[in-house]
Chains A and B, each alone.
Chain A
Amino acid sequence: MPTVDIDPDELRDLTGHDDVGDEELKDDLFGLGLEFEGHTEDGAFELEFAPDRLDRLSVEGVARSLRYQYGDARGVHVPSTNSAEWSITVDDSVPDERPYVTGAVIRDVSLDEDGLDSLIQLQEKLHATMGRKRAKGAIGIHDLTMLKGASATDTDTPTIEYVGVEPDEDRFVPLDSDAELTPAEVLEEHDTGRTYADLVSEYERYPAIYDDIGLFSFPPVINGRRTEVSTESRDLFVEMTGTDQWTIDKMLNIVCYALAARGATIEDVTVQYPDHELVRPDLSTKTKSVPHKRIETILGINLDPNEVVDLAERSGLEATKEDSEDADELVYEFTIPPYRVDVLHPLDVIDDLGRAYGFNELEPEYPDVGTVGGRHERSRLEDAARTQLVGLGFEDLLNFHMISEAENYERLGVSPNADAYGAGEAATIKEPYSEDFTMLRTWVMPSLLMVLERNTHRAYPQHLAEIGFTAAVDKSENTGVTEQRHVGAVLANHDAGYEDAKARLQALARRFDVELETPPTEHPTFISGRTAAVVIDGEEVGVIGEVHPKVLVEHDLEVPVAAFEFELAALQ
């Protein structure tokens, strides 16, 4: 799970609880679902977080949640914003792949080193989560004093322009560089450029942001050096571009809340698309209607309506009772603050209420619901066959379903295209873990021989069996793969022979009351003249024989091995 670094002293400052010790603080954070993983080199807490509450990706957000937990804050708080002076104009040339932009102006910022680090971390964590590694949303934060707003055509307000440029059309000096580079050169020559090159390299035109002076940002890759933010910066311009308006607007809200928590003032920005206009940040609240009954059934307790309202406020939400004549039909309208990105459904509100109530306060209760249990027929058959095999003296094995081509075919002398049991087209894996696990096994014999190979130092006889999963490509199946259980068995001992295998196979057939025939056949894994097809109730379902010396030697075996394998379903 992802982690976030939080300086405990800053947290104490922002919550106003200077007296809370480290251990107590860790417990309080655990209550929020932030688990202490260790200290960073600078002594900050490294906290593991579940990726739902993305408003807690920085010390400001964590402090806000703690203040609700401590009871210092209640209900919904929305920072006020000043009306827009700046605008972002979106040009027709913007690449179709990345059409959306949003932004805000932040005034009177006072960032010390810690504050700046926290802002940078928040930006990185948002990129990694909501921003899907900048593909879905990317953040650029600029020193506003370094921007010169071009006069927009139809207003007097300063504006910056979001455009698309040819890869080598223009130059700028990117962060961490002294050279003037074109966007295409950034992707080739700059470290950050190379890291994010895949995001835009397929684009015909690259995204770019201009002010009156020129190109100053190449989203989602890198900002220009001219507008770099430092502890000296007092006013900021925050812009975000992406593939989804909602996502970047929410990311913007989280950043605005974090900066407002440090005393900054938020100022609206007008986003001027060719055909419509947005005013951002969008700090409007959302509502969800949740019936009182649903809260009670999910939590399994009776609640007083006032208690629900109280739980909501302690969660940073607000609840108002909707008018209703019947008390049983009571419904609340919950107000959801604009920094929450995880509330998709009324159930999410109930989860918040449960956390505020304390899930651990709930008494477990075994549900009074009667149902009849039972095993699936396939698994009953498998177990019955396994019991018989064990009775016949086999040690039951459990092997991997993934195997390599070499093990599955070549080391048993079988060609994938051969007309032999175990041959056939394999279901293969696109990006295997290693060359040992590239496909699903088409039969279990290879796994059994691998176990014999690994255990030549162990006592013989080794009578091993596996009822195991096999798969092969079969176009007639819906998934394109036929999946079967096979019964595979090997008898390895100094005097093991065909008859030993046949005797046990016969016993199985007799016990399951099926008719067994073993007409001679040829199979590359077995010795010619000591190989037969396994025919059950008239259908060829497997093979039995003495394993060929070339296969034995290949597996470093110094004893003969008799073996059989057939489809479990034949015993039905």
Chain B
Amino acid sequence: MQLPAAQVAVLEAASADEATSVDALAEATDLPPETVTGAVFELEAEGLVTVSERVDETITLTDEGREYAESELPEISLYEAALEAGADDDPVSMGQVIGASGLEGSAVDIALSNYARKGYGQIDSGEITADSDADPTSDEEASALESLATGDGLDDAEVRDQLERRGLLEISETTVREVTLTDDGVTELMAGLETAETVGQVTPDLLTGGDWEDVEFAEYNVEADAEQFEGGRVHILRQTADRVKDVLVGMGFQEMEGPHVDADFWINDCLFMPQDHPARTHWDRFALEQPTHIDDLPEDLVADVERAHKEGVGPDGEGYHSPWDEDFARALALRGHTTSLSTRYLSGEEIGEIEPPARFFSVEKVYRNDTLDPTHLLEFFQIEGWVMAEDLSVRDLMGTFEEFYAQFGIEDIQFKPHYNPYTEPSFELFGTHPTTGELVEIGNSGIFREEMLEPLGVECDVMAWGLALERLLMLMYGFEDIRDIHGTLCDLELLRETEVTY
């Protein structure tokens, strides 16, 4: 019988009496284990060997586990410090014991959460007691760690599970395949085997010399997993931004661009936000320490904006009864919304006068001094869009946003009347979450006030809306912590594993 060299070698190394593992065969034949595995499956298909599988568990210490094996468990350090401080007689303040124990950072929490569980004493209202009967030398978890560190096994399943829960060890499973010769295998072996001429790699010599016609190609295990390969990919949030841009461009919107550091004039005053509005003095704004003020503002526009704030617009207009100061308007800050781009474009300062009808958008970063948490970042992307045309109505606004959100699978948009200083009427937009079915806020919209538009020189209607891109991303992909995605705390693994969408 003719067989490829690897199969011949495996048959010769295997036995009919006892099962031999793939690793042992690899060692005996001096072939790589994956080649042996491939050969074994081929031989099994030929009926020359049988293959049995067994699952082996291996226990390894994690870095943290190894650290405790070398020194000691934090709860033991805490116990020793507590004894030292006399906590076996009377409760002692926790701060004092922790200080004396030398524990720091997360080790403190670890020690506290295991201390009472393991009977080293009690922790109550900031005080700690120590049970003088406890014996750290007979701590089962400590001895288990020690025995694992020296290479011995661990039989006690309860202790093992506990240590795994604490993240001190990892249990991995490996499949061991064992091979036994069948009667047919023995027969063929007795009859004598010939090695078939096989070729591993297609080489230039083989091709140019014409030998390829006579050779047999060694078979691969084409089912085996290859080594993991990452390659490049676009960041998921960028991809979402691009998707939004695609949709908006498709709906006839042109993209805007402008400064991140801008004068309050463009960010707030042009939006008819009174200078004593809480949002402008509020701490959620990032004012610049340096530079402090913008050099130039268009003089006529400043005068018009000031007049709108003080006197209002139109024969029946009424301004705010709030102070207005140009110096305050010139102060620089990180923009809190990209509406500063809209005011710059609408004013004609960016690309000249814009003739209606027009649609503009941006998907750019804004900055707010909010609390950092799983759903809030200090900087995030705002989707901003506006439509300029004669006689726009609330129905046009509703129709536009329904169309936009439908592109992302968000249907049944609800419009809740709302208040913004720069739009009237104003609406909060709510939509049904595509997977959970919850009603969630998905944006803020309205028709720009005439007090905002008139100073900017706009003589028709403009309706606008804004939405955080991260919110749309989280709705679409169900991410739970935006910090894993956006920023320097990002987890490459998560970015690598995120499913491709389109």
**A interface with B by C-beta (< 8 Å):** 33, 50-53, 132, 136, 243-244, 246-247, 286-289, 297-301, 342-348, 350-351, 354-355, 359-360, 362-367, 369-376, 378-379, 383, 386-387, 389-402, 425, 427-433, 437, 440, 447, 450-451, 454-455, 458-459, 461-465, 469, 471, 473, 475, 478-481, 483
- B316 engages A345 (CB within 8 Å): yes
Known: A344-B318, A430-B287. A360 touches B392 (CB 8 A): no
User: Which residue from chain B places its CB closest to the CB of A1 in the assembled complex?
Assistant: B419
With both chains docked as a complex, state the minimum distance between the C-beta of A430 and any C-beta of chain B, in angstroms: 4
Q: For B255, B293, B316, B334, which residue has the most chain A Cβ atoms within 10 angstroms?
A: B316
- CB neighbours (8 Å) of B447 from chain A are 298, 347
- CB neighbours (8 Å) of A360 from chain B are 414-415
With both chains docked as a complex, state the minimum distance between the C-beta of A444 and any C-beta of chain B, in angstroms: 11
Q: How far is the CA of A389 from the CA of B395 in the complex (A)?
A: 44
B150 within 8 Å of A (CB atoms): no
Q: How far is the CA of A200 from the CA of B238 in the complex (A)?
A: 50
B230 within 8 Å of A (CB atoms): yes
**B interface with A by C-beta (< 8 Å):** 228, 230-235, 237-238, 242, 245, 248-257, 259-263, 276, 278, 283, 286-291, 293-296, 312-323, 332, 334, 357-359, 365, 367, 369, 372, 377-379, 387, 389, 391-396, 398-400, 402-403, 413-419, 424-427, 447, 449-451, 461, 485-493, 495-496
Q: How far is the CA of A244 from the CA of B321 in the complex (A)?
A: 7
- CB neighbours (8 Å) of A50 from chain B are 418-419
- A451 engages B488 (CB within 8 Å): yes
- B396 engages A375 (CB within 8 Å): no
With both chains docked as a complex, state the minimum distance between the C-beta of B48 and any C-beta of chain A, in angstroms: 39
User: Which residue from chain B places its CB closest to the CB of A455 in the assembled complex?
Assistant: B492
- A454 engages B425 (CB within 8 Å): no
With both chains docked as a complex, state the minimum distance between the C-beta of A324 and any C-beta of chain B, in angstroms: 16
Q: How far is the CA of A355 from the CA of B427 in the complex (A)?
A: 11
- A345 engages B489 (CB within 8 Å): no
Contact of A376 among B257, B403, B426 (CB under 8 A): B257
Known: A370-B252, A402-B378, A480-B291. A440 touches B261 (CB 8 A): yes
- CB neighbours (8 Å) of A362 from chain B are 394-395, 398
- CB neighbours (8 Å) of B493 from chain A are 455, 458
- CB neighbours (8 Å) of A450 from chain B are 488
- B257 engages A433 (CB within 8 Å): no
Additional 10 contacts, C-beta under 8 A, given A360-B415, A429-B289, A458-B492:
A52-B419, A286-B318, A289-B315, A367-B389, A369-B359, A373-B248, A376-B255, A395-B230, A437-B378, A480-B291
Q: How far is the CA of A454 from the CA of B289 in the complex (A)?
A: 30
With both chains docked as a complex, state the minimum distance between the C-beta of A342 and any C-beta of chain B, in angstroms: 8
Q: For B262, B293, B369, B393, which residue has the most chain A Cβ atoms within 10 angstroms?
A: B393
- CB neighbours (8 Å) of B393 from chain A are 297-301, 365
- B394 engages A375 (CB within 8 Å): no
- A365 engages B399 (CB within 8 Å): yes
- CB neighbours (8 Å) of A440 from chain B are 260-261, 334
- CB neighbours (8 Å) of B278 from chain A are 132
- CB neighbours (8 Å) of A51 from chain B are 419
- B395 engages A345 (CB within 8 Å): no
With both chains docked as a complex, state the minimum distance between the C-beta of A266 and any C-beta of chain B, in angstroms: 23
With both chains docked as a complex, state the minimum distance between the C-beta of B79 and any C-beta of chain A, in angstroms: 31
With both chains docked as a complex, state the minimum distance between the C-beta of A375 and any C-beta of chain B, in angstroms: 5
Q: How far is the CA of A366 from the CA of B251 in the complex (A)?
A: 11
- B252 engages A372 (CB within 8 Å): yes
Q: For A344, A400, A461, which residue has the most chain B Cβ atoms within 10 angstroms?
A: A344
- B232 engages A483 (CB within 8 Å): no
User: Which residue from chain B places its CB closest to the CB of A368 in the assembled complex?
Assistant: B396
- CB neighbours (8 Å) of A244 from chain B are 321-322
- A369 engages B395 (CB within 8 Å): no
Contact of A398 among B237, B253, B296, B398 (CB under 8 A): B237
Known: A33-B418, A390-B234. A454 touches B488 (CB 8 A): yes
- CB neighbours (8 Å) of A243 from chain B are 323
Pairs A–B under 8 Å by Cβ, sample size 5: A346-B314, A360-B414, A367-B400, A378-B257, A483-B261
Known: A366-B403, A369-B389. A478 touches B312 (CB 8 A): no
Contact of A483 among B259, B318, B486, B495 (CB under 8 A): B259
- CB neighbours (8 Å) of A354 from chain B are 394, 417, 425
- CB neighbours (8 Å) of B461 from chain A are 297
Known: A298-B393, A351-B424. A427 touches B490 (CB 8 A): no
With both chains docked as a complex, state the minimum distance between the C-beta of A58 and any C-beta of chain B, in angstroms: 18
- B291 engages A379 (CB within 8 Å): no
- CB neighbours (8 Å) of A53 from chain B are 419
User: Which residue from chain A places its CB closest to the CB of B488 in the assembled complex?
Assistant: A450
- A376 engages B231 (CB within 8 Å): no
Contact of A396 among B234, B398, B417 (CB under 8 A): B234
With both chains docked as a complex, state the minimum distance between the C-beta of A242 and any C-beta of chain B, in angstroms: 10
Q: For B237, B250, B378, B379, which residue has the most chain A Cβ atoms within 10 angstroms?
A: B378
- B399 engages A371 (CB within 8 Å): no
- B316 engages A289 (CB within 8 Å): yes
- CB neighbours (8 Å) of A464 from chain B are 492
Q: How far is the CA of A297 from the CA of B394 in the complex (A)?
A: 9
Known: A359-B394, A402-B379. A431 touches B425 (CB 8 A): no
Contact of A386 among B238, B249, B253 (CB under 8 A): B238
- A396 engages B238 (CB within 8 Å): yes
Q: How far is the CA of A366 from the CA of B378 in the complex (A)?
A: 35
- CB neighbours (8 Å) of B259 from chain A are 479, 481, 483
Q: How far is the CA of A439 from the CA of B425 in the complex (A)?
A: 38
Q: How far is the CA of A243 from the CA of B334 in the complex (A)?
A: 30
Contact of B296 among A359, A428, A437, A478 (CB under 8 A): A478
With both chains docked as a complex, state the minimum distance between the C-beta of A244 and any C-beta of chain B, in angstroms: 5
Contact of B417 among A355, A375, A430 (CB under 8 A): A355
- CB neighbours (8 Å) of A344 from chain B are 312, 317-320, 451
Q: How far is the CA of A136 from the CA of B321 in the complex (A)?
A: 10
